A and B are shown apart, each in its own frame.
Chain A
């Protein structure tokens, strides 16, 4: 490897078709020593082997303080001088707990093992000396050339060499990786495509001797950098040349790939990071209680030991025949021994079985959530799901609900309702979507209905080709996207990553601009029946930071055009000077926002040939750079291209509220839960949605940034806040005024916030008194920042709910993350603790399951501590009667079986079945004061 390879970070070397070379360097491990570089393609998700199970499980379990404590007790009991109860008495509960836990771990490990071996023995075709042999996944080795058939799962990370489709395109479904069900295309390099498909493929592939240099294995799913050295040339490799393990090949008969990463090095396995263990607040309370119990046991034992010393002193001096029983004739030493004896005797006060019972109860509670018919969504056949089983009681304590808007409050079933082309508004959003008269689109063979816009004028304009802006507008809609077309029964079926794009492309199809197909280099569009093929030069993709996407195409006439669509702020600042229709378009934007419509601006730029040449050269250079540098360069490059735009128009998409959202929000607010909405939408849209979902009361006063800043800057924010409210609402009830103020913030204002951390606390105390907080124009990172702000400045439990990849940050940051299993992929759900299908299910999740669970577990803890402490306290009392000699009052077996057998079921049954009241009044009259009585009652127990 040369020096520059190291510098660019491309240090992973793969030689095609040289199995021996790689086999030799395969990673082998023995205990903790590993040698070699390439891991094999065997998945080992199991933790234990026959030999290591016992030590490992014991090691894990003895990390729990309670278990160590009991082990210590067993050891102490082996000393005859102090063993107040026989040694086997303590070891029985300990063994029961250890073996229950161990068996549970073992069972899940066996399941993983079975699953692993099922995966490892899946068949795949490996090229061995010029012919494909069926082998198992575990035999695949770095450098092997594989053949993947249609609908097969890809066994390792592959470099796509060629496929059965033209241009060596192939389609993959990445549902297992990111949960998105739309197809994505991957394409082989031209070089490999040309060379390897021309011959009979086996022979050509067998002779393929390229060397791939690429990054070390990493977990970045969407980037790949490397180069292929072959036939004296060097080709740059990117993400689109790579087929990842776990994806499924679709719509392609065959694909040939060179194995780059196997097994533990693959991106998907690198990605399944460790699960973050969330601990509930109750658990922390409980840990403190356990420490308290230990301390009080030690104290009690000390007092009793002093008593024993004194009484044995008396025995020594007065009772001749018993004095022989005082060890060594030394009362102090006797007291010392009795101290240890009492620690043993009082050890049942330590709730050893509590952790395991706690887990069982949590599991059952989570199951109840999954079993609930009222949270089952029939349309997609999805029940609710508790992905993290240990948080159920936190649900009952939620104080702040931070919600995404799109897809969470709304249905995310988008309808193209209006558009504004060249300053002219088409369509009418005041008519509800169901009542829209269908337009006569029979002239369009590709029309399949479903357009909820009535605007014959637009159709006429388009068909008559009277307005070039309108034509360009629709071309932009049909070209600027990443949608894939699949042909079914003569109709194109669109598969898109984002529902916005699908809607826009669908609308363009209805209006005559039909997107037909896409290859790597070309996009084919039928414009009013005339099929035109555009050459795709560059695709400047969408990111949440850029908030726009563009395509650079060469039209059949040879002109270079950049079509760009994106959020209005971003596009408007990139327009050329004196752009026509700008003012009227901005007015239209406002109108659309008031009607709660989602808007996207569409713009075009004619790119001079010279600029393109210069630009593409720089772009090519960037491919070889290290990731972070490249990203900044790309950003600059893209920025350079997306300027001097000519505004074409605005699309307006309706996203209707989900069923039951206003009721749910009202109910949650009544329950004392603060509902905040964080959205990437425009302020006007967000405020309108806020009104329609009853987040904002029609009479409530919106506190905006200017005013808020004044309040925050003032010496005493509280006072100024009240003044600000009173100026308008002094006359009305004070109580009313409290509830009817809402804060509206935007992303840029929040950024200012981050510079002034001292405002955080005062802002939170203000927010506490407001009805709600609405943050618009926020980025995913800012969403997480807001959650952090809330977590930092309040003691309440925060809950985030969202449905898309942009909510993942926020979901992970909050105490409880809820993923809405909606239309936008599965990323949110994958990262969430709970998954539901509808926003209104939160009602039941929080107010029924959460509260039940909270109450049950609180009662359970009290009950459990009561029963263990009560059992042990008897011995303190009995000590007074028996001269503090650590004599047990109970029969020894009774002690052993008390916790694990005699008293196990009642406490568990209560924790499973206790119902505070029927579900009905609870959802309507929430009650959240449990923590107020829980803590004192725990204290009482200790006393």
Chain B
């Protein structure tokens, strides 16, 4: 603006002859003709097809074993036992057996899975106090009202960790055993730490400052969620550093799943063991389950998943199938267009109008 004012003389108000002001910036306007569009359609179909096939192969290369143990085998008894809430305190364990036909090579991940469990309900998702799990000492004993009615018990004792999310934590535990053909059984070692991200364990979840006190003393004056059997400071009896709010199972559970059917990481195969250096060999396996989590109440199912991963993730068929479907739709459209062009528009009449 200031530039135009500086000018004087007879042509002072002459507009600048710049590409922007004269709207002459490089522009490209494709002339869509059959000769340009049809090859493009075919090309796109081929590209999608190739991508789809490639991803499908990639996904197929991962191995996955799914096991729904809700009422499998002798878990049936536990399933019935858990139907009644008053039996919650009774321990129940069961064993499921399965065999692996083809060895799982590489890192093997052990998941537990739930079906029809809506972790994505808004009021459920909001029912937590991030301040508390962040280790703020003040909030520890004074949880937010978002946790209601899981913020305090009926005596007014604050719950730690509060809220519906923590309260409903998945509390089955598993131990995997490998049965060699010789009849000998070897427990399969699972790493139960390293399941979370760095930011989870060090930023989002922290224990309250202990200052020479034990963790149990810090949590004094709070009580564990109603459905919990053990307090939060003794969730992992074997590893004292995996207790309190930084317990990895808790952290994994607290990251709510977006969909009602989900799986969450339970452990990773420890390949330091010489038997499992290359992954899980084929053979018979069994899982001993401490069966605590009731699923009847939400018509759910639960299970475990053993899988290997690629860079693409686990065995997820959505993307390859989406590519293949898209590819076939484009191909169909291309064929229809070709026919139409062949029959009606070949002489270019439609371009004139």
Contacts and interface: CB of A to CB of B under 8 A. Distances in A.
Interface in A869-889: 878, 881-883, 885-889
B150 A324 contact: yes
B15 A324 contact: no
A381 B21 contact: no
Interface stretch (B23-31, B43-51, B102-110): B23-31
B118 A370 contact: no
A373 B22 contact: yes
Residue in A321, A326, A881 whose Cβ sees the most chain B Cβ within 10 Å = A321
B125 A324 contact: no
Contacts of A852: 23
A318 B150 CA distance: 19
Interface stretch (B5-13, B130-138, B302-310): B5-13
Contact of B164 (A324, A378, A887, A913): A324
A887 B21 contact: no
Interface stretch (A10-18, A621-629, A914-922): A914-922
Contacts of A321: 164, 167-168, 227, 297
Contact of A915 (B27, B121, B150): B27
A265 B22 CA distance: 44
B23 to A, nearest CB: 6
A371 B85 contact: no
Contacts of A341: 122
A513 interface: no
A882 B120 contact: yes
Contacts of A370: 15
Interface string B286-303: 000000000001110000
Interface string A877-905: 01001110111110000000000000000
A383 B259 CA distance: 61
Given A376-B15, A381-B13, A324 B297 contact: no
B331 to A, nearest CB: 25
A325 B121 contact: yes
Contacts of A881: 120, 258-260
Nearest to B299: A318
B125 A887 contact: yes
B124 A322 contact: yes
Residue in B14, B85, B168, B227 whose Cβ sees the most chain A Cβ within 10 Å = B14
A251 to B, nearest CB: 25
A84 interface: yes
A165 interface: no
B240 interface: no
Nearest to A916: B29
Interface in B154-191: 164, 167-168
A341 B125 CA distance: 15
Task: Say which size band chain B's interface belongs to.
Answer: 35 or more
Contacts of B11: 378, 381
Contacts of B125: 887
Given A376-B15, A913-B27, A882 B122 contact: yes
Residue in A326, A885, A887 whose Cβ sees the most chain B Cβ within 10 Å = A887
Contact of B122 (A372, A373, A376, A885): A885
B127 interface: yes
Nearest to A374: B22
Given A325-B127, A381-B14, A889-B258, A371 B298 contact: no
B123 interface: yes
B85 A320 contact: yes
B17 interface: yes
B313 interface: no
Contact of B13 (A318, A382, A888): A382
A318 B164 CA distance: 16
A381 B15 contact: no
Interface residues of A, number: 37
B131 to A, nearest CB: 15
Contacts of B164: 321-322, 324-325
B27 A887 contact: no
A885 B121 CA distance: 5
B16 A885 contact: no
A371 B14 CA distance: 8
A887 B122 contact: yes
B73 interface: no
Interface in B203-255: 227
Interface string A196-235: 0000000000000000000000000000000000000000
Contacts, number: 98
Contact of B297 (A320, A882, A917): A320
Chain B interface mostly = loop
Contacts of B39: none
Interface string A567-607: 00000000000000000000000000000000000000000
A324 B149 CA distance: 7
Contact of B23 (A368, A376, A378): A368
A839 to B, nearest CB: 20
Interface in A820-873: 852
B122 A383 contact: no
A84 B122 CA distance: 8
A370 B85 CA distance: 79
Contacts of A368: 21, 23
B22 A372 contact: yes
Contacts of A382: 13
Given A882-B118, A889-B258, A915-B23, A325 B14 contact: no
A381 B297 contact: no
A328 B297 CA distance: 20
A325 B123 contact: yes
A283 to B, nearest CB: 24
Contacts of B123: 325-327, 885
Interface string A538-569: 00000000000000000000000000000000
Residue in B22, B27, B123, B227 whose Cβ sees the most chain A Cβ within 10 Å = B123
A319 interface: yes
B22 A371 contact: yes
Interface in B39-83: none
A389 B294 CA distance: 67
A888 B150 CA distance: 22
Nearest to B31: A917
Contacts of A322: 118, 121, 124, 164, 168, 298
Interface in A290-338: 318-322, 324-327
Contacts of A915: 23, 27, 29
A885 B260 CA distance: 13
A888 B168 CA distance: 21
A318 B298 contact: yes
Contacts of A917: 29
A408 to B, nearest CB: 22
Residue in B12, B29, B149 whose Cβ sees the most chain A Cβ within 10 Å = B29
A371 B16 contact: yes
B120 A885 contact: yes
B25 A913 contact: yes
B124 A325 contact: yes
A444 B260 CA distance: 105
A882 B15 contact: no
Contacts of A319: 297-298
A882 B259 CA distance: 7
Residue in A318, A322, A370, A915 whose Cβ sees the most chain B Cβ within 10 Å = A322
B15 A372 contact: yes
A666 B293 CA distance: 84
Given A913-B27, A915-B27, 11 more contacts: A318-B299, A321-B164, A321-B297, A370-B15, A371-B16, A376-B14, A383-B15, A882-B118, A882-B122, A883-B118, A916-B29
17 contacts: A80-B145, A318-B299, A321-B164, A321-B168, A321-B297, A325-B124, A325-B127, A327-B123, A371-B15, A371-B22, A372-B23, A373-B14, A381-B11, A881-B258, A882-B121, A882-B258, A885-B118
Interface of B: 10-17, 21-23, 25, 27, 29, 85, 118, 120-125, 127, 145, 149-150, 164, 167-168, 227, 258-260, 297-299
CB-based closest 4 A-B pairs: A371-B21, A887-B122, A882-B120, A885-B122
